[in-house]
Structure 1
């Protein structure tokens, strides 16, 4: 896929035309002239002037002279690329690379349509852009987080299921005679990388560089060498090799070269990284095999967590890979679409839990990332599993399940969570969770579901916004809620005073 629709020259020409059009429209409206009136004043056709204002045409020198004289505006001002202060944010956006980088085609938006929108309502678009910039600054929104948000929206728009990638995985399994009913190993995939794609696998070099201890692998395209950290486990190695196969089998050239990635050049690389990861997850956990096992699990009359663990351990994968694969299969094969996926990280001894990954299918369930200086609710099973892991040093992992009932809401979620230590970051632990809305449909699907079976907790979003009384897990006062309450009291008092005088 290629979403960089503009080449540099085209973008510059588009920008020059649009700036001239924006200026002309602003001058015309400041003088209370209609397009018809401007046409009558200058002798230029109304349709021609309309196309200039929309950024579709750039007038020749003689026409600019006419516009300059009739509108009493200096020629140099008209042709300058500098916009007035009230339109400056639009100019900055258009002159930057953002139009090249935003994956407009991904959401069915054509660049020309966007130009028309900007040209038709420059003041409103300017205000909107300024608002977005201010919000981004307040929430420390980086280019990286912007692209990841765009990718997440793309996943959610497709219920995180991509038939074309699933089909490619099925074709690959058939072409390379892989048994989808047996766990795939790193050796199986390493052989394909070496024999089919000419890879050299080096498990020694990366471990020599202490500063790179957080990296799992580096790919060197010049000689097809894959440097792999020698201390990764079998599941991690299998996933890395599966991603490399994806890049080659799908013929993806614009790619990232490290895992986890440390920088990117374009949205294409972020998108292609997702495609390769999706392919890897689908290869390690084939859809039909997983759907069959989940069907059996859901048919059980009582909740048997050991059966879920058996399913997870039947694949050569991490808990995170398995939980993420559930977000592909549950919406498509079981019509369970009201669900969310969360990954939290926590440094031991820190009061802060960081929401580092999230996905929301169908509904925008809480929580969300970028809560500035607020403390996420400690009643979530996602955080409790991390606490369980940290208080029991013998454990390599911790698991939990609960019904989360959101305060001031009728919605309840059945949430499963698993926590493990981060193998590459000292004293960092993380949990992955999947939550499913407790709808009548879900209860019919899960034969084992019985509310008395599972711990049920009323949860908030953050301590600062939570009204739950006598909460033993609270780590901060609900000052945001208290402020809202005070403002409401003031509002009601003022309203009563006004009413008393009428």
Structure 2
């Protein structure tokens, strides 16, 4: 859709409908006084047609407005937010077809109920401003919804990895080496690969790689470990093999210019994860682990170490495999970040499969429950000085009574100095889930009552509490007040 032309047509349609309703005219009435067909006028108001000059003059005359007002792209104050969001090109930037939305249908919705759409858009803008929602955050939220709608499993990308491995004679039953990844990039795609000391420049401290498209040069930070290096190389292969042109040139990303870059970054990352953690190989290893009746934490770490990936890549891959191949479709993925010496823990990344699970990000500056294993692994990794501290627990949420088996790994944050991050996957405990985990009833597996944030938590005598339950107390006060109001309403009815 040519958004500029569509924008002009839609604005004219909104103005025509506004002028017509201001005169208390129906479409039939306007058709009668202008001798234009009702269907033609209806298509104009819906933004599907733009009338010729003589028709605009006629409409302006009959509606008693000026020609200049009708052709101006300036909207009245009550419709201005609609104009702004259309003019911004956001419809062009987000591929609505991913969500089954046709752009023409969206135009119809806006044209048919401009006041309600305006109120909705104004609400979204206000919420975005209140929570400091950036353009990148909006794009990432859209991507997360896309992943969740597909249970984070994409058959076409899995198939492309298999086809790639056949074409390049890559053995999917063994780990692909960094030497082989480099050879493919250099010999097949004409890359030059150089390792540099990025930390010599303070501004590059958070970066791990830069791709220079004009010379096909990949610059790698010499501070990264083997797992990170393998992932970056695999992503570059993905960009080339899938012939992706609209892409990012740094890892980690600095900014997204459009939604295509966000989506393509995800596609390349998914391809890399599937290449480094082949589906069937991972399924086989997981089945062995799940059959253990009393696994030790080190056995889970050993399982991860069988693959040349970071803990985050391993946990991300679990969110592809568990819903598809183990029918565990209620799970969450969390990445928490913690600056050493502070009492702050932030959720930097999350994903929820099937439903919005309880442990979710909160933008109210509330304190996440200190009983989460995601926080405990961070604390223990600092206390014990370990580069990878793994733990697991059954978390029972006080409010919903839902229980999750949560795996969590804490490691130094590769992108932030003096920061520790934890990666966690939680699986909703159901009868079907318990059959798949032989060790679920083992007494050595810690069980813990948890909340979401301290401010909303009803757990009493919590030694780990970082803040009083002020939000919960306010809710209880409101409920008590409502109950008394209802008694008076009944008494004096």
Fold-level match, TM-score > 0.5?
yes
Indicate the SS of the match to 1:133: helix
5+ residue gaps, structure 1, are 1-5
Please identify runs of 4+ aligned residues in structure 1 that moved more than 6 A. Answer: none
Provide the C-alpha distance between the structure 2 equivalents of 1:451 and 1:27, rounded to a whole number of angstroms. 72
Matched, 1:318 2:306: no
Q: 1:454 aligns with which of 442, 445, 448?
A: 445
Matched, 1:241 2:233: yes
- Deviation digits for residues 43-80 of structure 1 (CA, Å, limit 9, x no counterpart): 11101110110011111111112211211112211111
Structure 1 residues 415 and 225: alpha-carbon distance in aligned structure 2, compared to 1, 3 A threshold: same
* CA deviation after TM superposition for structure 1 residue 282, in Å: 0.6
- Deviation digits for residues 355-374 of structure 1 (CA, Å, limit 9, x no counterpart): 00001000101222242211
TM-score (norm 2): 0.97
Structure 2 partner of 1:3: none
Matched, 1:221 2:192: no
- Deviation digits for residues 91-125 of structure 1 (CA, Å, limit 9, x no counterpart): 10111121111221111111111101100111111
Matched, 1:17 2:13: no
Q: 2:123 aligns with which of 123, 131, 140?
A: 131
Pairing of 1:340-419 with structure 2 (within 5 A): 340-393=332-385, 395-419=386-410
Provide the C-alpha distance between the structure 2 equivalents of 1:446 and 1:56, rounded to a whole number of angstroms. 57
| Number of aligned residue pairs | 493
Provide the C-alpha distance between the structure 1 equivalents of 2:185 and 2:57, rounded to a whole number of angstroms. 65
Higher mean C-alpha displacement, 450-459 vs 165-174 = 450-459
Pairing of 1:459-478 with structure 2 (within 5 A): 459-478=450-469
Q: 2:159 aligns with which of 158, 167, 172?
A: 167
Provide the C-alpha distance between the structure 1 equivalents of 2:227 and 2:9, rounded to a whole number of angstroms. 54
5+ residue gaps, structure 2, are none
Provide the C-alpha distance between the structure 1 equivalents of 2:108 and 2:414, rounded to a whole number of angstroms. 51
Higher mean C-alpha displacement, 292-301 vs 131-140 = 292-301
Indicate the SS of the match to 1:73: coil
Provide the C-alpha distance between the structure 2 equivalents of 1:293 and 1:259, rounded to a whole number of angstroms. 30
Pairing of 1:189-268 with structure 2 (within 5 A): 189-204=181-196, 206-268=198-260
Matched, 1:420 2:411: yes
- Superposed CA RMSD in Å reads 1.4
TM-score (norm 1): 0.96
Provide the C-alpha distance between the structure 1 equivalents of 2:473 and 2:467, rounded to a whole number of angstroms. 12
* CA deviation after TM superposition for structure 1 residue 193, in Å: 1.0
Structure 1 residues 207 and 483: alpha-carbon distance in aligned structure 2, compared to 1, 3 A threshold: closer
Q: 2:476 aligns with which of 482, 485, 492?
A: 485
Provide the C-alpha distance between the structure 2 equivalents of 1:413 and 1:37, rounded to a whole number of angstroms. 62
- Deviation digits for residues 316-343 of structure 1 (CA, Å, limit 9, x no counterpart): 1111111111111111111111111000
Contact residue 219 and residue 225 of structure 1 kept, 8 A: yes
Matched, 1:40 2:37: no
Provide the C-alpha distance between the structure 1 equivalents of 2:406 and 2:46, rounded to a whole number of angstroms. 51
* CA deviation after TM superposition for structure 1 residue 207, in Å: 4.9
- Deviation digits for residues 110-146 of structure 1 (CA, Å, limit 9, x no counterpart): 1111101100111111111011111111111110010
* CA deviation after TM superposition for structure 1 residue 391, in Å: 1.8
Matched, 1:291 2:254: no
